[in-house]
Structure 1
Amino acid sequence: MAQIDYFFTVVSPWVYLAGDRLEQIAARHGAQVRYVALDGPALFPRTGGQVLAERHESRKAYRLQELKRWSRKLGRTLDLQPAYFPVNPAPASYAVIAAQAAGGGDLAGLVQAFPRAVWAEGRNIAEDAVVKAILAENGFDPAVADRGMFMAADVYVKNLDEAVARGVFGLPFYIVGEDRFWGQDRLEMLEDHLAGR
């Protein structure tokens, strides 16, 4: 069984736009998804990139055009100026990591729910009440975030180190063996790879 290591940040609009396409691809090809939540803003300077606030205005403008185009193409509602962005990704990321360790809910749904909350629902995923509500909405005990916080904080740091070591430089990022795919717009190529095309 192939394993897809899925590196993501809960605050990325591109992760939101990916939706559940990765899970559909994995199901079609009998692959397993390993979710690796990490601190996206911390990844960029470690791999030669820049955080959004420091990018040239032309890059920021193009990003907005691309987000508009992709949201229209995929038929997904996306607020280009969400009420709670930028937002601290750590609380929601810790919740994903703790939920993954605890089990018992819909992990894929949880991973998709946090970026959707930012980019389509106007929710503040740095607020404890919102994090717990989203955990519950996806079948997890809301208290898992509190119980697993210290473990999750440690894993969160290790996930960033793993990402850098394995050549991840943007998000979302997918790795199958030695093959790497950057961006939700490479999901078709990931499927081709799994299909041996």
Structure 2
Amino acid sequence: MPHIDYYFSTISPYTYLAGTRMEEVAAKHGATIGYKPLDIIALFGRTGGIKPAERHESRKEMRLQEMRRQSAKLGLAMNLQPAHWPTNPAPSSYAFIAAAKAGVGDLGGLVHAITRRCWAEEQDIAQDDVIRAALEEAGFDGALADSGMLAGAEEYARNLDDAVSAGAFGAPFYIVDGSEKFWGQDRIEDLDLYLAGKL
């Protein structure tokens, strides 16, 4: 049974654009998923990337055009410059980690519920009420927003170290069985083909 380590950021527009397509691919091929929320800005710093605000103007322009095209292609509403971005991704990530440990809801749905609130619904995903609503939408107890902060912080930091060690440098980033790497929501089709033995 293949295993996918899924490195993602709750403030990443491309994690939002991934929707739940990776989960559909994993289910199709009987793959398990290890969800690893991380600090994307810290990951950029440790792997040679540049945070969006510090990129050259041509890169900023291309990023916005690409986000517009991809959201239209996928039929996902998207505000290219949301009111609450960037925001602190740690609270939503800690809540996600607590939800993963609880194991009673839809984790893929939770990633999408959080990121959608940032990128399509003009909500601040650092706020407890926003996080609770996302948890409840995905079938989890909203009270998880207030639990496991210390354990969540430790795992969040560990996920960053794991990502660097595994060779991940962006989000979303998918690694199959510790070796085959796929970077970006636009590589989910390739992930599907790889799991089918066609790549």
- TM surpasses 0.5: yes
SS in 2 for 1:33: strand
What is the Cα deviation at residue 126 of structure 1?
A: 0.5
SS at match of 1:67: helix
- AA of the residue aligned to 2:81: Q
Structure 2 counterpart SS, 1:174: strand
Q: Which runs of 5+ in 1 are unaligned?
A: none
What CA deviation, in whole Å up to 9, does each residue of 1:136-171 have, x standing for no partner? 222211222322111001000000000001000111
Number of the residue aligned with 1:36: 36
1:11-26 equivalences under 5 Å are 11-26=11-26
Instruction: Tell me the equivalent position of 1:180.
Output: 181
Amino acid at match of 1:193: Y
TM-score norm. by structure 2 comes to 0.96
1:135 and 1:28 map into 2 onto residues whose CA distance is: 25
| 2:27 pairs with 1:27 | yes
1:193 correspondence with 2:194: yes
Instruction: Give the match's secondary structure for 1:62.
Output: helix
CA distance in structure 1 between the aligned counterparts of 2:20 and 2:103, rounded to whole angstroms: 19
Q: Report the alpha carbon displacement of residue 112 of structure 1 after superposing the two structures with TM.
A: 1.1
- Please report the TM-score for the alignment, with normalisation by the length of structure 1: 0.97
Q: Which residue of structure 2 lines up, in the alignment, with residue 92 of structure 1? A: 92
Write the deviation string for residues 63-103 of structure 1: whole angstroms up to 9, x where unpaired. 00100111111111111111111111001000100110112
Q: Quick one: which amino acid aligns to residue 44 of structure 1?
A: F
State the distance in 2 between where 1:170 and 1:68 align: 19
- After superposing on structure 2, the runs of 4+ consecutive aligned residues of structure 1 that deviate more than 4 Å are none
User: What is the aligned-residue identity percentage?
Assistant: 58
The answer on whether the counterparts of 2:171 and 2:184 sit within 8 Å (CA) in structure 1 is yes
> Structure 2, unaligned stretches of length 5 or more?
none
Separation in 2, partners of 1:107, 1:133: 14
Write the mapping of 1:2-17 to structure 2, written as runs, cut at 5 A.
Answer: 2-17=2-17
| Equivalent residue pairs, number | 197
Deviation at 1:17, TM superposition (A): 0.6
Q: Tell me if 1:135 matches 2:142.
A: no
8 A contact 2:128–2:145 mirrored in 1: no
